[in-house]
C-alpha cells in the first residue's frame, strides 16, 4: 500500500518552459521528478493542481505523489531541496489521505499579476514585473474588474477556446486592483478554475482600461460576444504568480 504526500512548491519560472514535463525542455515538474528519483531510485510521477506556462512563477503551487514506503516528510523535503536548483523550492510536504487529488480537490486558486507603473523598473524586480510607464487609472480598472466577477463564459479571455474540453464557463469569485506608493500595481484574481492564459488576458484587458484605450463597460460586451478579439491582449508571463491553491 502506498502513502500519498502533498507538496507546496514555490518557483521562479524565468528559466523554465513551464510546469509540465516536455521532451527536451527543462520544466519545474521534470526537475522535481528527477529529485524524487534521486531520493528513491524510482521514477515517480507527480500530479499538479494546474499547469503554469513558460516564464510564469509560483508561490503556492500544489502537487501530490505516492511513495511505496512512508517517509519523514520534513527530512524528505529537505532532501528534495538539496537536489533542486535554488529557483525551485518545496516549501511544505505533508502526508494526506490516499484519495487526495491536488487538481480535483482544489476549491479555489489565486493568481496575482504584478505591474510596475513608473519610469523605470527596479533591477531586482525586472523578472517579476510588467513595465507600464503610462499612468494607470486604478478606479476604471476596478470598475471593469467588477463586471468580470461571477459565473461567465470567458471564451473572449482565453487564447485558444477550442482547447478547453470542459467548456469556457468559469466562476471568478474576486478581482482586486491595488497600487502601492512606490508604483507597484497588483491585479489579484481568485476563482474556482481558469482557462488557458485567462488571467493574463484579464490583466491585459484591465491594463488597456487603465491607460484609457478601452472603457470599463466593454467587459460585458466581450463576455457576451464570447469570441476572442485582439482588443483583449495576453500580457507577458513574467508578472504572473500562482499565489495559492485552497482545499
Active site positions, annotated: 53
Burial of 69 (0-12, 13-18, 19+ CB in 10 A): exposed
Distance CA 241, CA 112 (A): 5
Residues 6+ apart with CB under 8 A from 25: 17
Contact 54, 98 (CB under 8 A): no
Q: Where are the alpha helices (DSSP H) in the chain?
A: 28-40, 73-83, 138-148, 198-210, 218-225
Considering only CA atoms, which of 164, 174, 168, 149 is closest in space to residue 226?
168
Helix (H, G, I), strand (E, B) or coil at 177: strand
Distance CA 52, CA 20 (A): 8
Neighbours of 42 (CB within 10 A): 9
Contact 52, 242 (CB under 8 A): yes
Q: DSSP letters along 39-70, please? A: HHSS----EESS---TT-EEEEEEEEEEESS-
DSSP tag of 208: H
Amino acid at each position: 500500500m502506498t502513502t500519498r504526500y502533498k507538496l507546496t512548491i514555490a518557483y521562479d519560472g524565468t528559466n523554465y518552459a513551464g510546469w509540465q514535463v516536455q521532451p527536451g525542455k527543462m520544466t519545474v515538474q521534470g526537475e522535481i521528478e528527477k529529485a524524487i528519483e534521486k531520493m528513491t531510485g524510482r521514477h515517480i510521477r507527480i500530479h499538479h493542481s494546474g499547469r503554469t506556462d513558460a516564464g510564469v512563477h509560483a508561490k503556492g503551487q500544489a502537487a501530490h505523489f505516492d511513495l511505496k514506503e512512508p517517509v519523514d516528510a520534513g527530512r524528505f523535503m529537505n532532501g528534495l531541496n538539496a537536489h533542486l536548483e535554488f529557483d525551485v523550492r518545496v516549501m511544505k510536504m505533508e502526508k494526506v489521505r490516499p484519495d487526495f487529488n491536488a487538481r480535483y480537490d482544489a476549491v479555489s486558486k489565486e493568481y496575482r499579476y504584478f505591474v510596475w507603473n513608473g519610469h523605470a523598473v527596479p533591477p531586482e524586480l525586472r523578472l517579476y514585473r510588467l513595465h507600464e510607464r503610462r499612468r494607470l487609472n486604478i478606479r476604471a480598472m476596478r470598475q471593469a474588474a467588477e463586471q468580470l466577477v461571477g459565473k461567465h463564459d470567458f471564451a473572449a479571455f482565453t487564447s485558444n477556446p477550442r482547447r478547453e474540453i470542459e467548456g469556457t464557463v468559469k466562476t471568478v469569485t474576486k478581482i482586486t486592483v491595488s497600487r502601492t506608493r512606490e508604483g507597484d500595481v497588483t491585479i489579484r484574481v481568485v476563482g474556482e478554475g481558469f482557462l488557458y492564459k485567462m488571467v493574463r488576458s484579464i490583466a491585459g484587458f484591465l491594463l488597456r482600461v487603465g491607460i484609457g484605450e478601452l472603457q470599463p463597460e466593454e467587459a460585458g460586451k466581450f463576455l457576451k460576444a464570447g469570441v476572442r478579439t485582439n482588443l483583449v491582449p495576453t500580457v507577458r508571463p513574467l508578472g504572473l504568480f500562482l499565489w495559492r491553491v485552497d482545499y
